[in-house]
Amino acid sequence: MEELVGLREGSSGNPVTLRELWSPCPRIRRGIRDGLEWLKQKLFREGEDWHLLMTLGVLMALVSYAMNFVIGRVVRAHKWLYREIGDSHLLRYLSWTVYPVALVSFSSGFSQSITPFSGGSGIPELKTILSGVILEDYLDIKNFGAKVVGLTCTLASGSTVFLGKVGPFVHLSVMIAAYLSRVRTKAVRESENRSKQKEMLVAAAAVGVATVFAAPFSGVLFSIEVMSSHYTVWDYWWSFFAATCGAFMFRLLAVFNSEQETITSLFKTSFRVDVPFDLPEIFFFVVLGAICGILSCAYLFCQRTFLHFIRTNRFTSKLLATSKPVYSTLVTLVLASITYPPGVGRFMASRLSMKEHLDSLFDNNSWALISWNSTPPWPAEPDSQNLWFEWYHPQFTIFGTLAFFLVMKFWMLILATTIPIPAGYFMPIFIFGAAIGRLLGEALSVAFPKGILAGGVTYPIIPGGYALAGAAAFSGAVTHTISTAILAFELTGQIVHALPVLMAVLAANAIAQSCQPSFYDGTIIVKKLPYLPWIRGRSINSHCVTVEHFMSCAITTLAKDTLLEEVVKVVTSTEVAKYPLVESKESQILVGIVRRDQLVQALQAEPPSWAPERQQCLQDILAGACPVEPVTLQLSPETSLHQAHSLFQLMNLQSLFVTSQGRAVGFVSWVELKKAISNVTNPPAPK
């Protein structure tokens, strides 16, 4: 390849190479090189990842806002088509159903054809990854595009399918964080740091929630409650920084696009500030929490049972394995047909979007009291100033439509969770809980039309406050989180109902956590992902059960003096990932760990035959191609089940060897731990 040439200024015309032209400037070259090296050291200094976290927050805010922009245009086109197609019921029915069916079937086919990891929420798999399990390619950046396109089509189908955005967006955020972490590792040419990567992933989970709801506080608390069994205080600051950057950028884009005058909450409410509720109403808020807890248990049980049935039934499992778009089309057609407005959808406020559902349910006024004095008409189009008209029917009343909405959405949400598309399930249960609270609030407003007398003063009951508490309580019970109370305050921008909402959430969680696993844990169980259950309940005496009661004694050890021929037999007859290395066959003193893959490479590098007079032992190849890893953690037979479980969760371990006075006597993995926990929580019947 020829060198580039040029002319030196003022020269006689003899050409010179580009290197010669540049060589007279050593000071400039050295300055540029040193400047780039200084910038690299500052950006990728150990422990200084603020720029990556800020980039993560800004990128996810841009993706979230762009997605909302596209979804808004597609939904608006659907409404225009439904309005302008004419008065023919057949044409209107087709326009109402075919549109979401086409979007959902495309979402399923497109996303699944690119990667099988794009379907569902993604949070159960992320919980598994953060617990120390490696799921190959699940966080690969190539999945990002498939999930974005599929999720956009899912949300553009509107409230007919009634699915949300939170779970997939957490998955998207974690994918970007994993990619940025790999970029940093390559830039500084250092080995992969799993603890540093976990910090990025935990912060990314907070960013995913913050850029959907513009709620940094609840985003961080969500990442603590849902994604982590143990939380490092060091991650707290990073998570808040990244979540704040994402939430701020997300709301700032709305201001730049003239959608908002300033940065405000997503769902504006105008609850009474001076006296938002009377003291006796605290009892009804606790009752609401108990109702939400009981209903959440029923929902979790039915959802998990139905999902297991769909995955094990011969017909549906074959359909999901071979023709996912066909299954998605059939389910969406059923849901869209039920929500058709002139039909059953008239009693479910089906013309409202998910945002309009919450806006209407958080209304201050009592619809039941208003409808007593007047009969509002059903408008041709939803009235943005009177969205509650969509909930009213002269023969069905407000109570009938709210109750019918709850009954229908209960099984429709369960059915929608089986569709193999990128979708979130938090927002639907949040709205479902708001409808529960609204129904109770309306009933109380009718029972006490002038309010509850307390201290000689009577204040009217605000049904919207009960809707807010119900939304937080039911969604918190389903996900086993308390942060939904904070999310309710950040979404509405008001904190006047802080105490009753928190009490309702605590009451609902007390019931749900004692009866059913969370929505995400239930999905992990059904999908048979690696899962280490919690030890719950004070009555479970896990301190009295020791490791010697449940450890596996079928341990294959390799001694340093083992002949290589015997080592080959052991490696070919077993499939374990690592072998305990002992000092000798007689002593069985554990001195280290040998990984199977490294041992196989070392054996393949040795000559295929060994002379009888010069038989080699395992110790001969350990110093070279097969390094020995030190045993930094080990269990004792006297270690309690509670201590072993805590250690596994805290360190994200998969297995540990058990030693007695230095001798290797067994090992404990997730399999043994899960069986021991099951025997403690549900002891077998005596024979």
Which candidate, 343, 306, 321, 528, places its Cα nearest to that of 417?
306
- In this prediction, residue 260 carries a pLDDT of 72
Min mean pLDDT across 85-89, 303-307, 436-440, 607-611 is at 607-611
Given this model, what pLDDT does residue 2 score?
Answer: 46
> Can you tell me whether residue 418 is helix, strand or coil?
coil
For residue 429, pLDDT beyond 90: yes
Q: What pLDDT score does 456 carry?
A: 67
pTM for the model: 0.85
The reply to whether 81 and 215 lie within a common domain is yes
CB-CB contact of 558 with 571 (8 Å) = no
- 134 band by pLDDT with thresholds 50, 70 and 90: confident
Task: Give the tens place of pLDDT for each residue, 462-476.
Answer: 898 999 999 999 999
Residue 412 has pLDDT above 70, yes or no: yes
- Alpha-carbon distance of 359 to 596, in angstroms, equals 59
The stretch 98-102 carries a mean pLDDT of: 93
Residues β-bridged to residue 657: 667
Average pLDDT over residues 385-395: 84
- Domain termination residue (choose one: 205, 234, 256): 256
- Listed in sequence order, the residues at least 6 apart from 403 whose beta carbon sits closer than 8 Å to its beta carbon are 439
**Assigned domain for 506 exists:** no
Q: What's the rounded mean pLDDT across residues 53-67? A: 91
4 confidence band (pLDDT: 50, 70, 90): very low
For residue 611, what pLDDT is reported? 47
Question: Which residue type, as a one-letter code, is found at position 28?
Answer: I
Residues 6+ apart with CB under 8 A from 314: none
pLDDT tens, 512-524? Answer: 998 999 999 899 8
Average pLDDT over residues 158-170: 89
pLDDT category of residue 1 using cuts at 50, 70 and 90: very low
- Domain identity same for 156 and 7: no
**What are the tens digits of pLDDT across the range 249-303?**
998 888 888 777 677 777 777 777 666 777 788 899 999 999 999 999 999 999 9
pLDDT at 299: 96
Dihedral, CA atoms, 649, 652, 657, 660, nearest 10 degrees? -40
Contact (CB, 8 A) for 660 and 636: yes
Q: How far apart are CA 146 and CA 106, in angstroms?
A: 11
CA distances from 654 to 73, 298, 528, 617, 619 (A): 47, 33, 16, 30, 27
Q: Are residues 562 and 632 in the same domain?
A: yes
Indicate if 123 and 190 belong to the same structural domain: yes
Say if 319 falls within a structural domain: no
Q: What CATH number should be reported for the domain holding residue 124?
A: 1.10.3080.10
Question: 381 in a domain, yes or no?
Answer: no
> What is the overall mean pLDDT for the chain?
83
Q: Which amino acid is at 387?
A: L
Interval 487-501 mean pLDDT? 88
Residues 150 and 186 occupy one common structural domain: yes
In the numeric block, which tokens belong to residue 377?
């008409």
The CA distances from residue 288 to 96, 222, 257, 399, 433, in Å, are 35, 23, 40, 16, 10
Q: How many domains does the chain have?
A: 3
Residues 32 and 156 in one domain: no
On the question of pLDDT at 36 being above 80, the answer is no
What is the mean predicted confidence (pLDDT) over 25-54?
68
User: What pLDDT, on a 0 to 100 scale, did the predictor assign at position 610?
Assistant: 47
User: Is 628 a domain residue?
Assistant: yes
- Paired tokens of 333: 């057609």
DSSP for residue 391: G
| 595 and 676 co-located in one domain | yes
451-460, 573-582, 600-609: range with lowest mean pLDDT: 600-609
In contact, 181 and 138? CB cutoff 8 Å: no
The residue-averaged pLDDT of 198-226 equals 88
Q: Cα-flanking dihedrals φ and ψ of residue 660, to 5°?
A: -125, 110
Residue 570 within a domain: yes
For residues 20 and 161, state if they share a domain: no
> Is 407 inside a domain boundary?
no
pLDDT of residue 684: 62
What pLDDT shows up at residue 593? 86
- Is there a domain that residue 652 lies in? yes
* Domain boundary, last residue among 232, 256, 280: 256
Give 167-220 as a DSSP string. Answer: HHHHHHHHHHHHHHHHHHHHHHT----HHHHHHHHHHHHHHHHHHHHS-HHHHH
Query: What confidence category does residue 338 fall into, taking pLDDT thresholds of 50, 70 and 90?
Result: very high
pLDDT of 135: 78
Asked if 267 and 251 count as a contact pair (C-beta separation under 8 A), the reply is no
String of b and e for 365-376 (b: at least 16 CB within 10 Å)?
ebbbbebeeeee
Chain centroid to CA 470: how far? 22
Say which DSSP state 350 is in.
T
- Does residue 227 or residue 56 have the better pLDDT? 56
Report the alpha-carbon distance of residue 667 to residue 380 in Å, rounded: 69
pLDDT range class, residue 392, cuts 50, 70, 90:
confident
For position 561, which CATH number holds?
A: 3.10.580.10
Q: Are 37 and 70 contained in the same domain?
A: no
Q: Does 239 lie in the same domain as 128?
A: yes
Task: Tell whether 15 and 137 lie within a shared domain.
Answer: no
Instruction: Note the Cα 646 to chain centre separation in Å.
Output: 23
Measured CA to CA, the distance from residue 458 to residue 306 in angstroms comes to 47
Rounded Cα distance between 456 and 275, Å, is: 14
Q: Look at the block and give the residue holding tokens 């023969």.
A: 395
Last residue of a domain, one of 216, 240, 256: 256
What's the mean pLDDT in 381-402?
85
Please check whether residue 189 lies inside any domain of the structure: yes
Parent domain of 16: 2-43
SS (H, E, C) 95-160: HHHHHHHHHHHHHHHHHHHHCHHHCECCHHHHHHHHCCCCCCCCCCCHHHHHHHHHHHHHHHCHHH
User: Given this model, what pLDDT does residue 418 score?
Assistant: 92
617 vs 660, residue with greater confidence: 660
pLDDT at residue 191, rounded to an integer: 63
Residues 222, 102 within the same domain: yes
What share of the chain has pLDDT > 70, as a percent?
A: 87
